[in-house]
Structure formats: structure tokens, C-alpha cells
């Protein structure tokens, strides 16, 4: 499932974050790439211990925790602190699948990369190229969203970032360790949850609301690994 989350951050929040990102010190993105990924990666990233990255990352996580669409789709158990990249001057990241696990910096806690998320900090008209291309069972999708929007997709997906030939593309990326490992099961739970919410809004006294809600939670209980 590929899901857009519109306006995760407000225009004022995006503006503040952009100013901080533009003033930050960046390093070669290969520093955090594995052997295979390093062969196709050409971008800049904030160091993992960057104070700017930590502050903006905390803001992103706070907004995600309040976003019912993300919570319903990702069913988060653990979230890796957001990272940040910058593409310009032909920068690109070729086809790859992310590592299955990452360790939260400074801890021994491992995060399984069930769900990938990208938050955009540049508007599409600010740069040429830079599309996030995601390939999975749903086909190939080209993603280039407004600043402040986020895209959520399975961590198992083959994906790439096309070369940025004009301007600069700023974004955040991170992974969620979901309560439910299976992407297919997460999709079923998401669809059921959205249907329950719609029914609750349209017919809050409908007798099937409680039954459907019970079915949702029983499935979550059955499929959850926590």
C-alpha cells in the first residue's frame, strides 16, 4: 500500500525546517549506506548526531503520533529517528531495497523496516527530477509531493530517487517497525479501520459499529507480534 499523508507539517513548520536544513552541515550520503547501496547512492545527508536533524525529527514524530491516517496505516511499535537527505547537481539514488533492520543510534534497540516514510521539504516546482519511484505489487508509482506532505509505503519495495537536475530536493526519511509484520495484513486492517470510521461518522448508532470494531481488534490481537 502506498499512502499519501497531506499537510503533515504546516507551512510555517516547513518554512522553519527549511531554514534550519539550509543552514546545516551535510556529509556524503554514502557514509550511512551499505556496500551494495553505496554503489548507487549519490546524495548528501545530515550526520546521525546532527542537532538540527534531531530537533526536526522530534517535530515529525510528534505530528505523526497525532495523525490518525499514519497510525492506522503503519500501526507503529517503534520508529527509527528521522534522517534527512539533500539532492542537487545530478544527485540520485538508484534502485535499492532498504536494510531489514536499523539500530537506533546510541542504543541496542533494533527497528525492523516494515514501513518506509518520506516527508518532503521542497515543493515540486523548486527542482527538476527527484521523483521517488516505488515499485511493488501495486505497480510503479512516481511520487513528488508538496512540502509538508508525506508518503508511506512498504519497506520491502524496490525504490529509487531520480536525478535532481535543477534546484535542491530536501526530504526526511525513516522506517517504522509495525505491530503487524505483514503488509497484506496491515492493508486489510487499514481498510477495515477506514470503513469503521466512515460508518461511525455516517451512522454512529448503527448496531454493526461495535461488532466491526471488535473484529478489527481481534484481528489486530491475532496478527500483532507485540
Give the 3-state secondary structure of 40-105.
CEECEECCCCCHHHHHHHHHHHHHHHCCHHHHHHHCEEEECCCEEEEEECCCEEEEECCCCEEECC
Do both 50 and 153 map to the same domain?
Answer: yes
- In this prediction, residue 33 has a pLDDT band, given cuts at 50, 70 and 90, of low
Q: What is the mean pLDDT of residues 84-106?
A: 95
Do both 189 and 170 map to the same domain?
Answer: no
Annotated binding site: 96, 98, 159, 169
Grid-cell match 535542491, residue found: 168
Q: What is the mean pLDDT of residues 21-34?
A: 87
Do both 170 and 194 map to the same domain?
Answer: no
**Tens of pLDDT, residues 175-198:** 999 999 999 999 999 999 999 999
Do both 101 and 161 map to the same domain?
Answer: yes
Query: Is residue 74 over pLDDT 80?
Result: yes
Annotated binding site for 2-oxoglutarate: 169
- In this prediction, residue 35 has a pLDDT band, given cuts at 50, 70 and 90, of low
Contact present, 74 and 152 (Cβ < 8 Å): yes
Do both 125 and 217 map to the same domain?
Answer: no
Grid-cell match 536544513, residue found: 21
Do both 68 and 115 map to the same domain?
Answer: yes
Do both 158 and 189 map to the same domain?
Answer: no
Do both 43 and 96 map to the same domain?
Answer: yes
Vertex 177, ends 108 and 81: CA angle to 5°? 60
C-alpha to C-alpha distance for 65 and 127, rounded to whole angstroms: 30
Do both 33 and 103 map to the same domain?
Answer: yes
Please tell me the pTM assigned to this model: 0.93
Q: How many domains does the chain have?
A: 2
Q: What is the CATH number of the domain that holds 17?
A: 2.60.120.620
C-alpha to C-alpha distance for 138 and 153, rounded to whole angstroms: 11
Residue 187, SS3? helix
Do both 85 and 121 map to the same domain?
Answer: yes
Query: Is residue 119 over pLDDT 80?
Result: yes
Q: What is the CATH number of the domain that holds 205?
A: 4.10.860
Do both 43 and 60 map to the same domain?
Answer: yes
User: What residues make up the domain containing 206?
Assistant: 183-223
Dihedral sign, Cα of residue 101, residue 102, residue 104, residue 108: positive
Q: In this predicted structure, what is the pLDDT of residue 18?
A: 98
Annotated binding site for Fe cation: 96, 98, 159
Do both 22 and 63 map to the same domain?
Answer: yes
Q: What is the mean pLDDT of residues 39-43?
A: 89
First and final C-alpha spacing in the chain: 22
Amino acid at each position: 500500500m502506498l499512502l499519501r499523508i497531506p499537510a503533515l507539517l504546516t507551512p510555517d513548520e516547513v518554512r522553519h525546517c527549511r531554514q534550519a536544513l539550509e543552514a546545516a552541515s551535510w556529509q556524503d550520503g554514502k557514509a550511512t549506506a551499505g556496500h551494495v547501496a553505496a554503489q548507487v547512492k549519490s546524495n548528501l545527508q545530515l550526520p546521525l548526531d546532527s542537532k538540527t536533524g534531531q530537533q526536526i525529527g522530534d517535530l515529525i514524530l510528534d505530528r505523526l503520533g497525532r495523525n490518525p491516517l499514519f497510525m492506522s496505516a503503519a500501526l507503529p511499535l517503534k520508529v527509527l529517528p528521522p534522517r534527512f537527505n539533500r539532492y542537487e547537481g545530478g544527485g540520485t539514488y538508484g534502485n535499492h531495497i532498504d536494510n531489514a533492520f536499523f539500530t537506533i543510534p546510541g542504543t541496542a534497540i533494533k527497528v525492523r523496516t516494515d514501513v518506509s516514510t518520506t516527508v518532503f521539504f521542497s515543493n515540486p516546482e523548486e527542482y527538476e527530477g527527484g521523483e521517488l519511484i516505488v515499485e511493488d505489487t501495486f505497480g510503479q508509482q512516481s511520487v513528488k509531493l508538496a512540502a509538508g506532505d508525506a508518503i508511506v509505503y512498504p519497506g520491502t519495495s524496490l525504490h529509487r530517487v531520480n536525478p535532481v537536475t535543477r534546484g535542491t530536493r530536501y526530504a526526511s526519511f525513516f522506517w517504522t517497525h509495525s505491530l503487524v509484520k505483514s503488509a497484506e495484513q496491515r492493508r486489510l486492517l487499514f481498510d477495515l479501520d477506514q470503513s469503521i470510521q466512515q460508518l461511525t461518522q455516517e451512522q454512529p448508532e448503527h448496531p454493526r459499529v461495535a461488532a466491526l470494531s471488535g473484529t478489527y481488534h481481534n484481528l489486530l490481537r491475532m496478527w500483532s507480534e507485540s
